[in-house]
Amino acid sequence: MMHERINIIMNYPIDNLTMNETIALVEDYIKQRKLCQHVAVNDAKLVDMPKDPQLRQIISACDIIAAKRRSETCGPEKFS
């Protein structure tokens, strides 16, 4: 399944998807009976990833890598 990834902070790939796009992508995985691993990356994970190769590998291997946003600082629903 192809979808757009962007590089945000510290050059780590984050999927450029709204919640509705993420749901549609997961539904596609389900329809095709494919496994899908999702992770929400928060500030702590971004800080830990450079010094933790195992964490970096696990996150990088996920099919959907979302940025976890705090509701009060969320801003736009989608990164640009």
> Is 79 part of a structural domain of the chain?
no
> Is 41 part of a structural domain of the chain?
yes
CA distances from 8 to 5, 11, 18, 26, 50 (A): 9, 6, 15, 22, 14
> Is 44 part of a structural domain of the chain?
yes
Query: Mind listing the pLDDT tens digit for each residue in 30-79?
Result: 999 999 999 999 888 989 999 999 999 999 999 999 887 654 444 455 54
- Is the pLDDT at 3 greater than 90? The verdict is no
> Is 78 part of a structural domain of the chain?
no
Query: What's the total number of domains in the chain?
Result: 1
Residue 46 in tokens: 């971004």
Expressed as residue numbers, the domain containing 56 is 5-70
- Angle (CA) 27-32-35 rounded to 5° is 80
> Is 20 part of a structural domain of the chain?
yes
